[in-house]
Amino acid sequence: MGLHKITGSIVPYFFNINPSSLSPKPKFKDQYEKWAKVFRFETKPNKDVYKQKILNLENKEIPIIEYINSQLNKNFKWHNVDVFDVFINEPNLGGVPDGEEAIGNKVINTLEIKTTIFEEDNFYPSKPYINHQLQLSLYMSLRGIDTGYLCLCRYPKYTKKTEKLNPTGSLTKKEIDNSWKEEKIVCWLNNKEYTYKYRILEHWDNNGLPSDKISLFKIQIDKDYFLSMMREISDFLSCLKYSKSPEMNEKQIEEIINYIEKVDII
C-alpha cells in the first residue's frame, strides 16, 4: 500500500474529526496536526500502556466476527494480518475492512469493528457515530455496495489481561428510526462542504455486561456520492505540490524530539 493512500481510518481526519473519539468533535487546531495525521506521522507517544496492548493484539476481531456470523447467519471472512490493502487497483484509496462477506468473487457486505477500553455510558448510542461511519463507508463505496455493518464493543478498562473478547448472549433487534439523515461535513484540505447521507436499517444489542457488550448497526449510504467525494479529495491531495513542511511551533518541535528519544529502535 502506498505511503499516502487514504484508508478508512484516515478519512475522518480530512474533516477534522478524531476517528476513534466517542465524541467526534473537531480536535486538531492547526495545519501541522492535520497534516501529521493524514500522513500517519505520530508526534506523541501513546501513554496508555494497556490501550496500546489492545491496539496491538493480532486478530482481536476474529471472535467478534465469529459471534456475528453465528447470531445473524452471516459468513463474514477476515483478512490475514499481513494484508495491508485489498483494493490494489485503486491508486489513492484503499485499506482492509475488518470483515467481508462474498458470494463467489463478489463482496456483498462489509463489516467494521470499533473497540474501546473506555467506560463512558454513551459508548452504545442509538445511532452510530459519524467518525465510525466514514471509515466503513469508504470500504462500502469501493466495493460498490451501499449497505454495511458497524459493530461497537468494549474491553474492560481495569482488567490486567489482554485476552480477546468473547461476546455472550443473543443479539436482539432494537427499535430504530430508518429515515434518511444528513450530516454536513467540511474538508479542510479543499475547504469544501459535503453532505454525508445515511440511514439505519437495523440495530442489534446483545444486552451483555459492560465487559462483553456488543452493539451492531446495519447502515445504508449514498455510495456513489461518497465515492465521488473521496475521489475528489484524494485527487486534490495528489495534485498538491509541497515547497516546505507545515510550520511547527516550539511546543510541537519539543514533542517530536521527546517522542523520538522514547522510541525503541529494533
Q: Where are the domains of the chain?
A: 11-262
Task: Report which DSSP code applies to 13.
Answer: G
DSSP, res 253: H
3-state secondary structure of 250: helix
Cα atoms in the Cβ-side hemisphere of radius 13 Å centred on 34: 20
* CA atoms within 13 Å, Cβ hemisphere of 148: 31
pLDDT (0 to 100) of residue 263: 46
Angle formed by the axes of helices 130-143 and 223-239, nearest 10°: 90
| pLDDT tier for residue 80 given thresholds of 50, 70 and 90 | confident
Tens of pLDDT, residues 232-242: 999 888 776 45
pLDDT at 118: 59
Sequence-distant (6+) residues with CB within 8 A of 198 are 133, 137, 180, 181, 183, 219, 220, 221, 222
| pLDDT greater than 70 at residue 176 | yes
Q: What is the pLDDT of residue 133?
A: 95
List the CATH code of the domain at 11-262. Answer: 3.90.320
Three-state DSSP at 187 gives: strand
Integer Cα distance of 222 and 55 in angstroms: 31
First to last CA, the chain: 22
Give yes or no for residue 97 having a pLDDT over 60. yes
Mean pLDDT of 200-211: 80
- Predicted confidence band of residue 122 (pLDDT cuts 50, 70, 90): low
Residue, of 93 and 32, whose pLDDT is higher: 93
Using the predicted structure, report yes or no on whether residue 24 has a pLDDT greater than 90. Answer: no
What pLDDT is recorded for position 266? 33
Residue 244 confidence (pLDDT) above 50: no
Task: Give the mean pLDDT of 49-70.
Answer: 73
If one counts every other C-beta atom within 10 angstroms of the C-beta of residue 105, the result is 5
Q: What is the mean pLDDT of residues 168-185?
A: 92
- pLDDT value of residue 2: 43
Among the listed residues 97, 144, 122, the one whose alpha carbon sits nearest the alpha carbon of residue 213: 122
Please state, as a whole number, how many other Cβ atoms lie within 10 Å of the Cβ of residue 151.
Answer: 25
Q: Tell me what pLDDT residue 58 has.
A: 59
Mean pLDDT for all residues in the chain: 80
This prediction has a pTM of 0.81
Mean pLDDT to the nearest integer, 123-142 = 88
- Residue 180's contacts (CB-CB under 8 Å, 6 or more residues apart) are 197, 198, 199
Separation in Å, CA 66 to CA 78, 121, 215: 10, 26, 15
C-alpha cell at 238: 495528489
The pLDDT of residue 51:
55
- Give the pLDDT score at 132: 92
Which band of pLDDT confidence, cut at 50, 70 and 90, is reported for residue 200?
very high
